[in-house]
Amino acid sequence: MSDLEDLYREIILDHYRSPRNRGELPSPPAHRVEGFNPLCGDEVVVTMVVEDDRLADIKIGGTGCSISQSSASLMSGAVKGKTLPEVRELVRTFKSMMSIHEASLEGEVPDELLNPAELGELAALQGVVKFPVRIKCATLSWNALVQGLEELAQATP
Ligand code: ZN
């Protein structure tokens, strides 16, 4: 167990025990999306408010394993207040990190991905998502966020 893996584990546990942006925004006006991961039993409720092309507010509800809940908490802190192009870029970066892990049958973290600056604390998730089944836990809240943004985009021509 390396120091970096220890640090990553600490970040995951911290967000699991003290989740950020926990709760539900009143809906309406907030947009509400539910996600479910049957492989693990994780549930997530993402409520979000978009104002002037910016993700003005986001809250996370639901229950599940430490990976799903800490990933949702990390996501909420990373995207809250960002412009929608910034949010989409972060989602793209995060999901590429996850899909590289999905492709890694060895379960090894590729060196070049360690602690990428643009991910900040989100990099912690690469330290635990070593098995394909856990990737669904880590991406659950992100998929709900993307679904919500798409639904909002369709609702506002
Ligand atoms: Zn899970």
The CATH number linked to 15 is 3.90.1010.10
If you measure from the C-alpha of residue 41 to the centroid of ligand 1, how many angstroms do you get, rounded to a whole number? 6
Contact between 128 and 9 (Cβ < 8 Å): yes
d(CA 55, CA 10): 28
If you measure from the C-alpha of residue 12 to the centroid of ligand 1, how many angstroms do you get, rounded to a whole number? 13
Neighbours of ion ligand 1 (CB under 5 A): 40, 42, 65, 68, 137
If you measure from the C-alpha of residue 101 to the centroid of ligand 1, how many angstroms do you get, rounded to a whole number? 16
Other CB atoms within a 10 A radius of the CB of residue 84 amount to 16
If you measure from the C-alpha of residue 13 to the centroid of ligand 1, how many angstroms do you get, rounded to a whole number? 14
Per-residue pLDDT of the chain (157 residues; tens, 9 = 90+): 578 788 888 999 999 999 999 999 999 999 999 999 999 999 999 999 999 999 999 999 999 999 999 999 999 999 999 999 999 989 988 888 887 655 554 555 454 444 456 678 888 888 666 767 788 899 999 999 999 999 999 986 6
Total domains in the chain come to 1
Query: Residue 122 sits in which domain range?
Result: 2-155
If you measure from the C-alpha of residue 52 to the centroid of ligand 1, how many angstroms do you get, rounded to a whole number? 34
Please give the sequence-ordered ranges of beta strands (E in DSSP) within 38-144, or none if there are none.
42-51, 54-61
Residue 54: strand pairing partners: 51, 83
